Amino acid sequence: MSLYFDLSRCVRAVSKLSECTKCVDICPDSIEIVDNIPSFAKSTGVEASACVGVCPTQAFSLSDFSVTEFFFTFIESKVRLISPKINIPCISLLSVEHLISLALSSDETIIMDLNSYYKESILFGHIIDRIEEANFVLSSFSAKQLETNLDDIIPHTPMEDKDDTSDTLSRRSFLGNASLEGVVKHKKAFDDAVEADDLQRFNLDSSIISKIKEKSLSDKRKILFTTLKYAPKPEKYEVISEEDISFISQKFVDESCTNCQICYRICPTGALSSNGKFSLINFDAMLCVKCHLCHDVCEPNAIELQSGFEIKEFFEPKQRVLAKFNIKRCNECGNNFTYTGGEQACPRCMLEEDEASFLHNNAKLMRGNS
């Protein structure tokens, strides 16, 4: 089973200003950023599956396992244990959205079997964090919770103790043991193994660029939408801290916004949008995947996270207007622009006018000096 990467869905492909490193943070041994794009060896497989669950835009997937199919098959089955030993390659494939949706869709409590993980590993910590986040968010509107089976957790991390040179040594000894007759065949297998371990380069070609422009919502968000539709509404809606929820956000835009149009044009899901005249910024929190791209590209830092996330959004999603602009036609060039007072000319015409007057004054000075 190998790892597949859809570059067109990665927010780093959308803008070089993106600072997203979620996949690298969780799989630092397998994934690194090369030329601003995540990169990993062809041989990388299921051991790196935490990136599948953590990527906000679902840019990663596995060749032979679909998390969406797993979700529906699991819900239809009678089994209520999620375990790498029986039904999933790794629990880290499940995002917080999946975990919440699984708990909400099941009448019986779901048990997460963590007995295959080393207690001190990054992966174990990551899985526990995700389950705790899911349970915390669930507790704000539902009595349902996920349980963990932690009876025989493996106490230390032999993976971390492993000698880093062991892979290299095994490759070196690969040829050392080969007979002369078999050396050509072995050499080919050796080269294939080395090539499989080399980092792959993902390039932005024209087909990817046209796909980047398409706004799309991940399957995990569609699943969450659907399960929330059938979940009973709580009697009162809580507000949870923005820091306690990793997959969705509410935002506001302050007065430093210049209506440069970048955030709503670039938002990969369409959570931020505008109208035909670009006279406002709309925001739909249920479409936001908290990828942070809009913040990374906003030069004046005008777009900000709201400190609390309102659970009401899950049950009564609403598009909000974050900013409104006064759009006028430029008296010089006739193009529409965001009017902020003073002369009715767009920033480009104002700049040209400033430059012309600067040159004119310089010429006057030079004439006076001659």
Instruction: Point out which residues bind ligand SF4 (CB under 6 A).
Output: 10-12, 20, 22-23, 38, 55-57, 59, 253, 257-263, 267-269, 271-272, 288-294, 297-298, 300, 302-303
As measured in angstroms, the least distance from the Cβ of 13 to ligand SF4 is: 7
CB count, 10 Å around CB of 82?
22
As measured in angstroms, the least distance from the Cβ of 301 to ligand SF4 is: 8
111: exposed, middle or buried (Cβ count in 10 Å: 0-12, 13-18, 19+): middle
Give whole-number Cα distances, 206 to 8, 211, 213, 270, in Å.
Answer: 11, 9, 11, 22
Query: Which lies closer to ligand SF4 via its Cβ, residue 41 or residue 114?
Result: 41
CB contact at 8 A, 192 and 185: no
CA distance 308 to 243: 8
Query: Which lies closer to ligand SF4 via its Cβ, residue 231 or residue 263?
Result: 263
Query: Which lies closer to ligand SF4 via its Cβ, residue 12 or residue 144?
Result: 12
CA distance 102 to 275: 36
Query: Which lies closer to ligand SF4 via its Cβ, residue 173 or residue 306?
Result: 306
As measured in angstroms, the least distance from the Cβ of 139 to ligand SF4 is: 24
* Residue that has been written with the tokens 């009715």 in this structure: 344
Amino acid at 201: R
* DSSP class of 244: G
* Contacts with 80 (C-beta within 8 Å, 6 or more apart), sequence order: 106, 108, 109, 110, 111
**CA-wise closest residue to 93 among 83, 78, 105, 103:** 83
Helix, strand, coil percentages, rounded to 5, for the chain: 40, 15, 40
As measured in angstroms, the least distance from the Cβ of 39 to ligand SF4 is: 10
Query: Which lies closer to ligand SF4 via its Cβ, residue 148 or residue 258?
Result: 258
As measured in angstroms, the least distance from the Cβ of 37 to ligand SF4 is: 8
Helices 219-230 and 67-76: crossing angle, nearest 10°?
A: 30
Query: Which lies closer to ligand SF4 via its Cβ, residue 113 or residue 313?
Result: 313
- Here the tokens at position 204 are 């932005």
Amino acid at 304: E
* Contacts with 323 (C-beta within 8 Å, 6 or more apart), sequence order: 253, 257, 259, 280, 281
* Residue that has been written with the tokens 């479409």 in this structure: 287
As measured in angstroms, the least distance from the Cβ of 137 to ligand SF4 is: 17
- Here the tokens at position 52 are 């599948």
As measured in angstroms, the least distance from the Cβ of 184 to ligand SF4 is: 39
Query: Which lies closer to ligand SF4 via its Cβ, residue 153 or residue 260?
Result: 260
As measured in angstroms, the least distance from the Cβ of 305 to ligand SF4 is: 9
Query: Which lies closer to ligand SF4 via its Cβ, residue 240 or residue 260?
Result: 260
As measured in angstroms, the least distance from the Cβ of 55 to ligand SF4 is: 3
Query: Which lies closer to ligand SF4 via its Cβ, residue 25 or residue 120?
Result: 25
